[in-house]
Amino acid sequence: MRDACGLVVEAHRLVRSLIQPGITTGELDAAVVELYRRYDAEPLFLGVPCPAEGGPPFPAVTCISVNEEVVHGIPGRRKLVEGDIVSVDTGARLHGWCGDSAWTYPVGKVAADRQAILDAGEEVLMLAISEFGRRSRWSEVAGEMEAFALSRGYGVVRDFVGHAIGREMHEDPQVPNFVGDDMAEQDFLLQPGLVLAIEPMLNGGVDEVEVLPDGWTVVTEDRQPSVHFEHTVALTAEGPVILTAGVGAASP
């Protein structure tokens, strides 16, 4: 999994180096297509069946979601502009194992309220990873994540959650960022060997989201901006190991 996750880190470094006003989301995706091709890696998002009836399979190797778009944005002709925040999510399988990571990047200089939600999103992910190594059940981690987000005044997206990951990208159990009504049945023990894609999504306003007519793009209901931060994390006897460490860091 380190190899697959290392390649996902590489994809993020590449995208991050390219993000600037004027580049299109399609150009960012094309760069990752080329990278995965070079490593003979399998892009995990390409061709995923549409959750909306009759919608097209996902056409890209990254999900690129700008501003009020939460997840599953389709890369295309949209040009990024100064002040945007852009969430890039990508996953790849290499040598039979999967990696998955998302990060929300600023485009140039962003407004203070946008920088604040970027900071909070990264902080809630790192909080979750540290709690993952200290707690005995996921519900305790999810409760801490939800409390942190609410204390900052952000909505926690409830329609999408993290997941275990291994030979497949989406494995059981589901990994929510909040404590829902069904948490008692969905809760699980945290023990070495578990590898999770932990991926909080925070909204600037309400937690409700809706899907655009393209069948994929998820946006906040109130069109306030949203952020998405995801690491693939292995729990070992020595504690959590972030397999996608380096995503979000400046290029070397």
Residue from 19, 102, 149, 201 binding Mg ion (CB under 5 A): 102
C-beta closer to Mg ion: residue 114 or 231: 231
C-beta closer to Mg ion: residue 144 or 230: 230
In the complex, the smallest distance separating the C-beta of residue 230 from Mg ion, rounded to whole angstroms, is: 5
List 86's β-bridge partners, or say none. 66, 105
Q: Torsion angle, CA of 184/186/191/196, rounded to 10 degrees?
A: -140
89 belongs to the binding site for Mg ion (CB under 5 A): yes
Range in contact with Mg ion (rule: CB under 5 A) among 50-58, 171-179, 211-219, 228-236: 228-236
List own/partner pairs for 9-14 with CB under 8 A and 24 or more apart: 9/101, 9/244, 9/245, 9/246, 9/247, 10/35, 11/35, 11/36, 11/62, 11/90, 11/92, 12/88, 12/90, 12/101, 12/103, 12/244, 12/246, 12/247, 12/248, 13/246, 13/247, 13/249, 13/251, 13/252
100 belongs to the binding site for Mg ion (CB under 5 A): yes
Residue from 1, 197, 218, 233 binding Mg ion (CB under 5 A): 197
Contacting residues for 128 by C-beta, under 8 A, at least 6 apart: 141, 144, 145, 177, 198, 200
Site for Mg ion in 149-168 (CB under 5 A): none
In the complex, the smallest distance separating the C-beta of residue 2 from Mg ion, rounded to whole angstroms, is: 17
For 216, the token pair is: 């994929």
10 belongs to the binding site for Mg ion (CB under 5 A): no
Sheet of 226-228: strand order equals 155-156, 201-203, 226-228
Range in contact with Mg ion (rule: CB under 5 A) among 25-33, 85-93, 117-125, 243-251: 85-93
In the complex, the smallest distance separating the C-beta of residue 250 from Mg ion, rounded to whole angstroms, is: 21
Range in contact with Mg ion (rule: CB under 5 A) among 53-61, 118-126, 136-144, 230-238: 230-238
207 belongs to the binding site for Mg ion (CB under 5 A): no
Range in contact with Mg ion (rule: CB under 5 A) among 5-13, 68-76, 93-101, 129-137: 93-101
**Interface residue list for Mg ion (CB under 5 A):** 89, 100, 102, 197, 230
